[in-house]
Amino acid sequence: MSAVPPKTHRATPGQTVGPFFAYGLEFPKQHQVAFPHSPGAIVLGGTILDGAGAPIPDALIEIFGADADGSVPRARGALRRDDHTFTGFGRAFTDDEGHFEFWTREPGGIGGRAAFYAAIVFARGLPDKLHTRIYVPGDDAALAADPLLTSLTPQERATVVATRTADGGLRHDIRLQGENETVFLAF
Amino acid sequence: MSHPAAAPETLLAAPDQATQSQIVDEIRARHAELDALDAAGERLGATAHDFPAYRSSVLRHPTKNPRLVDPETIELFSPAFGQRDVAAIESDLTLQHAGEPLGERMSVQGRLLDSWGRPVANQLIEIWQANSAGRYIHQRDQHPAPLDPNFTGAGRAVTNENGEYRFTTIKPGPYPWKNHRNAWRPAHIHFSVFGSSFTQRLVTQMYFPGDPLFALDPIYNSIHRQKDRDALVGVYDHDLTSPEWATGYRFDIVVDGADATYFEQEGDE
């Protein structure tokens, strides 16, 4: 790989999404990355919590994930869903109980690596975005070899690996602060 | 769940209702701390997650430093957008209703670039804002300024092959909020932007030149370096102003990325 030249442009800083993002960022079927109940579609849901353990009712979470075969979705059309094209991208607002939910597919590992959804959290009261990952549980060998996961304590690791639900979906809570604070990422 | 959920609108008012001068003192003190960390060579983000003058951030910011990781696989790509996703008319916020909205018609245009100055083409920009009276259409905004039946305040655009975008809108008014007593936000337009990789995702706010509320606002000041704050102020450009029609502002946006994003963009359509 040839060398990366030095950056020439200073990055534009982020700001909070504020309290009133809903009418600006909402689009139809935004949380339906996969059409509900279509083959391979699962529910990925969870709660976003603050440092006092209270649910955050004005947060939003975005996910971007590979298709079930590990391929990276390159199709357009997330904002005008046709109910069959898989764009991999979804956006969900938390409800008054701090809960979010997606219909999506379970990503396959890319190149034999552990599979995860890339996720970003925004909220009123959160001055800038937070990146994290939501790993799919089950493939213990791939998870054990993952560079990020191996650098974490078991307690930290649990904050970025989803839990399988009885009906085959995934549950994943995100804690912005406090005990069991989710591991967030910088690149 | 052990903790009952509070009604979202009840969370909007900070419990302590500090004075404006207390908030300004807190902003200055926190800037001094962050400047000292800069001077000590610590790697700080442009925007402080821990900025208590912005009261609702107190329980909502992580206390641990983020883990520095190399972006991999899916993170090196971005969701793909195109004209299929956004109609051309969505970039004109003054055409969404039967009549003309009230206020100062303006355009804002600029380029979406990466850290190496390369245009980011075919990416999504979403904006939302208050109307000319400083009122958001959102139902949780209940302050007694008028709604405008001809203005919603939300728009979308997809950047062209040169990374350029353009919106026509109405200049937003300053907005009162409940962070502290007599708190007012400088006029701003919210921007949400995708880069060529998911790691470059950006949500920010564009401000207007010379706003007297800048020094008083804890959100604008959650960015401690003046140079970084300046990047969020749109530039009035008379060449973009149309005679007897609209004033023009320029707002270029640079999305940050790890070095790995330098290569990924080249093969990405």
The whole-number pLDDT of residue B269 equals 41
Range of the domain at A39: 22-175
pLDDT band at B8 (very low <50, low <70, confident <90, very high): confident
State the pairing for strand pair B67-68/A163-164: unpaired
In a domain, A187, yes or no: no
Closest-CA residue of A relative to B157 is: A79
pLDDT over 50 (residue B266): no
pLDDT at B267: 43
Identify whether A165 is part of a domain: yes
Catalytic residue among B30, B105, B135, B185: B185
Position B4 scores a pLDDT of 64
> Could you tell me if residue A81 is inside a domain?
yes
Active site residue B165: no
Torsions phi, psi for B106 (to 5 deg): -145, 160
In chain B, the domains with their CATH numbers are 81-257 (2.60.130.10)
What integer best gives the mean pLDDT of chain A?
96
> What is the model's pLDDT at position B138?
84
Looking at residue B240, the DSSP 8-state letter turns out to be G
Does residue A115 form part of some domain? yes
DSSP string, B104-165: -EEEEEEEEEETTS-B--S-EEEEEE--TTS--SSTT---SS---TT---EEEEE--TTSEE
Residue A109 lies in a domain: yes
> Is residue A181, in this structure, part of any structural domain at all?
no
Q: What percent of chain B has pLDDT over 90?
A: 86
CATH number for position A83: 2.60.130.10
User: pTM here?
Assistant: 0.96
Name the residue among A124, A148, A151 with its Cβ closest to that of B56. Answer: A124
Domain membership flag for residue A143: yes
Q: With cut-offs at 50, 70 and 90, classify the pLDDT of residue B258.
A: confident
Gap between the Cα atoms of A65 and B266, Å rounded = 21
For chain A, what's the residue count? 187
- Chain B residues close to A107, C-beta within 8 Å: 74
Mean pLDDT over residues B166-185, rounded?
97
Whether residue A48 is contained in a domain is answered as yes
Q: Is the dihedral of CA B210, B216, B220, B225 positive or negative?
A: positive
